[in-house]
Chain A
Amino acid sequence: MPAPIRLRELIRTIRTARTQAEEREMIQKECAAIRSSFREEDNTYRCRNVAKLLYMHMLGYPAHFGQLECLKLIASQKFTDKRIGYLGAMLLLDERQDVHLLMTNCIKNDLNHSTQYVQGLALCTLGCMGSSEMCRDLAGEVEKLLKTSNSYLRKKAALCAVHVIRKVPELMEMFLPATKNLLSEKNHGVLHTSVVLLTEMCERSPDMLAHFRKNEKLVPQLVRILKNLIMSGYSPEHDVSGISDPFLQVRILRLLRILGKSDDDSSEAMNDILAQVATNTETSKNVGNAILYETVLTIMDIKSESGLRVLAINILGRFLLNNDKNIRYVALTSLLKTVQTDHNAVQRHRSTIVDCLKDLDVSIKRRAMELSFALVNGNNIRGMMKELLYFLDSCDPEFKADCASGVFLAAEKYAPSKRWHIDTIMRVLTTAGSYVRDDSVPNLIQLITNSVEMHAYTVQRLYKALLDDISQQPLVQVASWCIGEYGDLLVSGQCEEEEPIQVTEDEVLDVLEGLLVSNLSTPVTRGYSLTAIMKLSTRFSSVNRIKKVVSIYGSSIDVELQQRAVEYNALFKKYDHMRPALLERMPIMEKSASNGPTEIVQTNGETEPSVVEPKHLPPVTQPVNQANDLLDLLGGNDVVPVIQTTMPTKPASAGGELLDLLGDLSLSAIPPMTAYNKNGLKIDFTFERANPNPNIAVITIHASNSTEADMTDFVFQAAVPKTFQLQLLSPSSNVVPALNQGTVTQVIRVLNPQKQQLRMRIKLTYTLKGSPVQDLAEVNNFPPQSWQ
C-alpha cells in the first residue's frame, strides 16, 4: 500500500475543491484510505493519519473511528505520536465517549515520565478534559507534582488541581498542604496559577476562605506581591504596554475581592494598595483600563471606606468619557451593578449616561437605557423622561418594548402631575404603540379611570390621536374604551386643560364604526369598539343608530363579536330597564399588583372591562327600584347608593393616593365588631385592608340567625356618606340557617380616600316563618383602625 499522503498535501488538495460536493468526495476517499491504514495497524503512519483526521474533523466531518487510534498514539514512546495523540484525545475523546477512561493508565504513566514535556502533555490533557473518575484516580499524582520544584510542572499541576476540584469538589482538602508556600514562588507562571487555585478553593468553600484569611495571612502576601508588581521597574519578560504582568495583577485583585468581601479586617488591609493601583495605573491603553476595571469591581464588593468608593465611581465616570467603546460598555455595566448601593454617586454621572443613549453601538445603548431607568427619581423625572421618550422615538424595534414598559413604570412611580402622566402615556402609545406589552392596556385604562378630573382631556386627546392613526392596536383599544366611557364629555366640549374640540355624536360613532370595519383592527380591538359603541347608547342621544350597528354584528362571523352583539341586542329589547345601570360609568378600580417590565403578564387586554361588568350584576339582581329606596335612607343628599357610583369631587389628592402603588402593605389586625343584633339576627363585621391600596377597607359581614326558623330571602343593603364609595359583592347565600347553624357572608368594599370616620346605614329584609321582616339600622361603632 502506498504511503498515506502527507497532512499538508491533503490540506492543499481539499482547498482546491470548488464545491461542497467535491470537498465531500475528497474527504470520503481519504477517510476510506485512513480507515484501511488503521486496520493494518501501521505504527509509522498512524500519527500522520490521525493528524489528517483531526483536520477533517475541524471541517465538520465525523472522525469517531480515530478515537482508539489516539489512544494508541498516546501509548507510543515517540514524542511526536504522543503530541498528536493527546491533541486528538482533547478533540475527540471527551468524557462522554466510552473509551475515555482507557486513557487513565497512559496518563498516569506519562505523569511520571522522565521528560517534563511529556508530563506537561499529560497534565494538560487531564486538566482540560479529565472526567470525574479520572480525576479521582489521578489526583494523588497531581498533588505530588504540585509540590515539585520544577516550575514548568508546578504551574500546570496547579491548573490541573483546579480542574480536579471543579470536577470532584470533595478532593479539595487534599491540595491544601501543597498550597502552603505557593505564593513565595518567583516564577510568574506558578504565581498566576497558584492564585487561580486559591481563588477556586476560596470560592467553593467558606471554611477554606476563613482558613486562608486567618491562618495563612493571605491578604498581606497578596498585597506584597501586587505592590512589587506596581513598583518594580521595567521587566521585559512580563511587560505589556508599560505595565508589569497585568494578567497576574487582575487575578490578584480578584482574589482580594473574595477575601475582602464582608470582612472588615481584610478589607482594611487592602485599602491602601487598592488606592495605589487606582491612582497609579496608566490608562492610555486597554491593559491599564482592564486593571482599573478589576480594581473598581473589587472596591465596590469589599467593605471599603467611602473615599475609596467615590474614587471607584469616578473612575467609572471617566470610563464613560473614554473614546474606546469597550471601556464605555464596561463602565455602563459596572454602574448598573452599583446603582442600587451608591445611587447618589452614580447620579452625578447622569448626563453622561443619558448621552450614551445616543451612541451608535447597540450594546451600549441597551446598557445606557437600563441604567437611565435605574436613575430616574422624583427630582429628575421630567428631564429624564424627555430624553427617554426621544430615545423611544428613535431606537431600534428590539428596544421599544422594554423602553415602553420602563417609561410606564417610571411614570407611575414619579409622575409630577396627572396631566403629565397622561401626556407621557399618550406619547408612548403614539410613538411605540405596537410594541407595548399586553398588560399595558388594562393598566392604562385603570390609570385613566382613576384620574377623574382628566377624563375630558384624556378622551379628547385620544380621540384626536385616533383620527390620525388607527394602526397601533394598544392605542386604539385604550382610545375606544375611553370614548365609550367618556364620550359624553367629548361631545359636550368640557375640556379644561386645552382647547375643547367640536365634535358631534355622529362623528364619534363614525370613528368607532370605522374601527369595526377596518382591516387594521384585530379582533380584540373590534370587541373594544363594539362595547364602546354600546356604552354610548346611554350617553348619546342617537340610540337608533347604535341599535342598528349592534344588530348588524349579531350575525358577525367573529364569534366573540357575535356574542357581544346578541347580548347587547337583548339589552335593548328585553332588559332595556337595566341598560342605564349596566352601562354606567366605571367605578374606581382597585389596583392589582404592578407588573414590572420583566414580568410579562399574558392577559388579553379584553378581560378588564368584561370582568368589571359582571361584578355589577349581583347588586342589580335586586331590582333597580330598590336603589331609589336607599336614596331615602339618610334623608336626602349625602348618600351614595350601592349600585351607582359618582366620581368624588376631590380631585388631585384622592387621585394621587389612588395611584400610590407603593402603599402601606402592613396589615394590622383590626378587631371585628357587631354591627346589628336584633330579633335573633346578628350581623358581625370583620375587616381586612385591601392590599395595596390602604384607602379601601374590605369588610366581610357574617349574618347569623339564633331563632328556631330559617330566615329566607335574606337581603343585606348598605349606604355610606357621600365622601365614601361602596361596593357590595354577591352574598354567599340568601338563607340564614336557624339556630346559628351557619352564616351568610357578603363582602363590602369601602373606599375612604379622605380617611373620614366610617358610618353606614344598613337595611335588612328577610322572611321569617312566612312573614316578611324589614329593618333599618345605623352602624357607627367602627373601630378607628378601619378608617384611619
Chain B
Amino acid sequence: MMRFLLLFSRQGKLRLQKWFTPMSEREKKKIIRDMTTMVLARQPRSCNFLHWKDLKIIYKRYASLYFCLAIENQENELIALEVIHRYVELLDKYFGNVCELDIIFNFEKAYFILDEFLMGGEIQETSKQMVNRSIEASDMLQETMEEYMSKPAF
C-alpha cells in the first residue's frame, strides 16, 4: 500500500498532505522535513526513486511542484510513477491547465479529487472519466443544496 503522498513547492512549502496510516503530528512534521530535504537535494537528472527507512519514495517534479509518494517495499515503483501522473492528469482536467496556484487556492478540491482516486493507500478507480464524473456530480450536489449561485460555497 501507499503510506503517504506529499505535494510541496521548490521552496519546501507544503501544498497537500495525505496520510494513509495514523501518525502523530510530530512524526508527520518530521517526515515532511525529511522528504523535502531529501527530494530537493536530488540532482536534476537522477532516477525518481529513493530509499528511506523501510519505504520506497517515488518523487516527480511537475513545473514548480514536487509530488512525493511513499510506498511499501514490495510495491511496484514504476506503476507508482503512473499513479502520480494519473493524479496530475485528473487535476489538470478539473482545473484546466492546472498550476500550483490552483492547488494553493483550492486545496480542498485537490483533496476531494484525491479521495475519489485513492483510498486507504490503494487505487480506487482506474478510469479517468469515472473520477471526473464523480467529482462533478458531488460539486453539483454542493451547489444545489447550498443554493449558492456561481460563487464558491465559502
Other than the given A6-B152, A188-B125, 19 more pairs (CB < 8 A) read A11-B105, A51-B154, A54-B107, A58-B14, A58-B16, A59-B14, A60-B29, A78-B145, A80-B142, A117-B141, A120-B134, A128-B20, A156-B119, A189-B127, A245-B126, A287-B82, A290-B76, A330-B78, A360-B43
Near A by CB (< 8 A), chain B positions 124-143 give 124-130, 134, 137-138, 141-142
Q: Is A248 an interface residue (CB 8 A)?
A: yes
Known interface pairs A127-B119, A193-B124, A326-B81. Does A58 touch B17 (Cβ–Cβ under 8 Å)?
Answer: yes
What chain B residues lie within 8 Å of A237 (beta carbons)?
127-130
What chain A residues lie within 8 Å of B146 (beta carbons)?
78-80
Known interface pairs A124-B115, A163-B120. Does A246 touch B79 (Cβ–Cβ under 8 Å)?
Answer: yes
Near B by CB (< 8 A), chain A positions 324-355 give 325-330
Q: By the criterion CB–CB under 8 Å, are A361 and B46 in contact?
A: yes
Residue pairs across A and B with Cβ atoms less than 8 A apart, 14 shown, are: A11-B104, A12-B105, A51-B108, A79-B138, A95-B22, A152-B134, A156-B119, A159-B124, A188-B127, A238-B126, A240-B86, A289-B78, A293-B76, A361-B46
Q: By the criterion CB–CB under 8 Å, are B47 and A364 in contact?
A: yes
Known interface pairs A6-B154, A8-B105. Does A326 touch B78 (Cβ–Cβ under 8 Å)?
Answer: yes
Encode contact with B along A139-178: 1 for CB under 8 Å, 0 otherwise.
0000000000000100110011011000000000000000
From B46, B126, B152, contact of A247 by CB (8 A): B126
Q: By the criterion CB–CB under 8 Å, are B104 and A325 in contact?
A: no
Q: By the criterion CB–CB under 8 Å, are B108 and A84 in contact?
A: yes
Q: By the criterion CB–CB under 8 Å, are A290 and B126 in contact?
A: no
From A12, A80, A95, A155, contact of B153 by CB (8 A): A80
What chain A residues lie within 8 Å of B108 (beta carbons)?
51, 54, 83-84, 87
A361 to B47, CA, bound (A): 7
User: Which 4 residue pairs spanning A and B have beta carbons closest together?
Assistant: A290-B78, A48-B154, A325-B47, A189-B125
Q: Is B98 an interface residue (CB 8 A)?
A: no
Near B by CB (< 8 A), chain A positions 1-41 give 6-8, 11-12, 15
A314 to B45, CA, bound (A): 26
A83 to B142, CA, bound (A): 9
Q: Is A594 an interface residue (CB 8 A)?
A: no
Report the count of interface residues on B (CB-CB < 8 A): 54
Q: Closest CB of chain B to A122's CB: distance in Å?
A: 12
Measured CB to CB, the nearest residue on chain B to A46 is B154
A380 to B71, CA, bound (A): 37
Known interface pairs A8-B105, A58-B17. Does A96 touch B24 (Cβ–Cβ under 8 Å)?
Answer: yes
Q: Is B122 an interface residue (CB 8 A)?
A: yes
A308 to B141, CA, bound (A): 52
Encode contact with A along B22-37: 1 for CB under 8 Å, 0 otherwise.
1110000100000000
What chain B residues lie within 8 Å of A250 (beta carbons)?
76, 79
What chain B residues lie within 8 Å of A327 (beta carbons)?
78
A345 to B123, CA, bound (A): 35
Q: Is B62 an interface residue (CB 8 A)?
A: no
A160 to B137, CA, bound (A): 22
Q: Which of A94, A95, A128, A240 counts the most B-chain CB atoms under 10 A from its CB?
A: A128
Measured CB to CB, the nearest residue on chain A to B80 is A290
Q: By the criterion CB–CB under 8 Å, are B134 and A117 in contact?
A: yes
Q: Is B95 an interface residue (CB 8 A)?
A: no
Interface, chain B (partner A; CB < 8 A): 14-17, 19-20, 22-24, 29, 43, 45-51, 76-79, 81-83, 86, 104-105, 107-108, 111-112, 115, 119-120, 122-130, 134, 137-138, 141-142, 145-146, 152-154
Q: Closest CB of chain A to B115's CB: distance in Å?
A: 5
Known interface pairs A60-B29, A95-B22, A128-B20. Does A329 touch B49 (Cβ–Cβ under 8 Å)?
Answer: yes
Measured CB to CB, the nearest residue on chain A to B50 is A363
Q: By the criterion CB–CB under 8 Å, are A162 and B112 in contact?
A: no
From A83, A87, A248, contact of B126 by CB (8 A): A248
What chain B residues lie within 8 Å of A94 (beta carbons)?
19, 22-23
Q: Closest CB of chain B to A48's CB: distance in Å?
A: 4
Measured CB to CB, the nearest residue on chain A to B119 is A159
Q: Is A294 an interface residue (CB 8 A)?
A: yes
From B49, B82, B123, B125, contact of A240 by CB (8 A): B82
Q: Closest CB of chain B to A641's CB: distance in Å?
A: 58
Q: Is A129 an interface residue (CB 8 A)?
A: yes
Measured CB to CB, the nearest residue on chain B to A199 is B122
Q: By the criterion CB–CB under 8 Å, are A326 and B49 in contact?
A: yes
Q: By the criterion CB–CB under 8 Å, are A189 and B126 in contact?
A: yes
Q: By the criterion CB–CB under 8 Å, are A162 and B120 in contact?
A: yes
Known interface pairs A127-B120, A245-B126, A247-B123. Does A290 touch B22 (Cβ–Cβ under 8 Å)?
Answer: no
From A47, A51, A159, contact of B120 by CB (8 A): A159
Q: By the criterion CB–CB under 8 Å, are B79 and A294 in contact?
A: yes
A142 to B105, CA, bound (A): 34
Q: By the criterion CB–CB under 8 Å, are A294 and B76 in contact?
A: yes
Q: Closest CB of chain B to A611's CB: distance in Å?
A: 39
Q: Closest CB of chain A to B70's CB: distance in Å?
A: 15
Q: By the criterion CB–CB under 8 Å, are B120 and A160 in contact?
A: yes
Q: By the criterion CB–CB under 8 Å, are B134 and A128 in contact?
A: no
Measured CB to CB, the nearest residue on chain A to B135 is A117
A707 to B15, CA, bound (A): 92
Q: Is A362 an interface residue (CB 8 A)?
A: yes
Q: By the criterion CB–CB under 8 Å, are A55 and B107 in contact?
A: yes
Q: Is A621 an interface residue (CB 8 A)?
A: no
Q: Closest CB of chain B to A405's CB: distance in Å?
A: 19
A94 to B19, CA, bound (A): 10
Known interface pairs A11-B105, A155-B125, A329-B47. Does A286 touch B142 (Cβ–Cβ under 8 Å)?
Answer: no
Known interface pairs A8-B105, A8-B152, A189-B125. Does A290 touch B79 (Cβ–Cβ under 8 Å)?
Answer: yes
What chain B residues lie within 8 Å of A287 (beta carbons)?
82
A287 to B86, CA, bound (A): 11
Near B by CB (< 8 A), chain A positions 285-315 give 286-287, 289-290, 293-294, 297
Q: By the criterion CB–CB under 8 Å, are A188 and B120 in contact?
A: no
Measured CB to CB, the nearest residue on chain B to A91 is B17
Q: Closest CB of chain A to B142's CB: distance in Å?
A: 5
Q: By the criterion CB–CB under 8 Å, are B130 and A189 in contact?
A: yes
A15 to B76, CA, bound (A): 38
Q: Is A196 an interface residue (CB 8 A)?
A: yes
Q: By the criterion CB–CB under 8 Å, are B82 and A246 in contact?
A: yes
What chain A residues lie within 8 Å of B47 (beta carbons)?
325-326, 328-329, 361, 363-364
Measured CB to CB, the nearest residue on chain B to A130 is B120
Q: By the criterion CB–CB under 8 Å, are A293 and B141 in contact?
A: no
Q: Is A461 an interface residue (CB 8 A)?
A: no
Encode contact with B along A41-76: 1 for CB under 8 Å, 0 otherwise.
000010110010011001110000000000000000
Q: Closest CB of chain B to A557's CB: distance in Å?
A: 43
Q: Is A192 an interface residue (CB 8 A)?
A: yes
Q: Closest CB of chain A to B59's CB: distance in Å?
A: 11
Q: Closest CB of chain A to B4's CB: distance in Å?
A: 11
What chain B residues lie within 8 Å of A12 (beta carbons)?
105
Q: Is A666 an interface residue (CB 8 A)?
A: no
Known interface pairs A128-B20, A240-B82, A246-B79. Does A189 touch B124 (Cβ–Cβ under 8 Å)?
Answer: yes
What chain A residues lie within 8 Å of B115 (beta carbons)?
124, 128
Q: Closest CB of chain A to B61's CB: distance in Å?
A: 14
From A7, A8, A155, A240, contact of B124 by CB (8 A): A155
What chain A residues lie within 8 Å of B23 (beta carbons)?
94
A245 to B128, CA, bound (A): 11
Q: By the criterion CB–CB under 8 Å, are B112 and A87 in contact?
A: yes
What chain A residues lie within 8 Å of B105 (beta carbons)?
8, 11-12
What chain B residues lie within 8 Å of A364 (beta carbons)?
47
A708 to B31, CA, bound (A): 78
What chain B residues lie within 8 Å of A653 (beta carbons)?
none
What chain A residues lie within 8 Å of B126 (beta carbons)?
188-189, 192, 238, 245, 247-248
Q: Is A115 an interface residue (CB 8 A)?
A: yes
Q: Closest CB of chain A to B127's CB: distance in Å?
A: 5
From A47, A120, A129, A246, contact of B154 by CB (8 A): A47
A48 to B152, CA, bound (A): 11
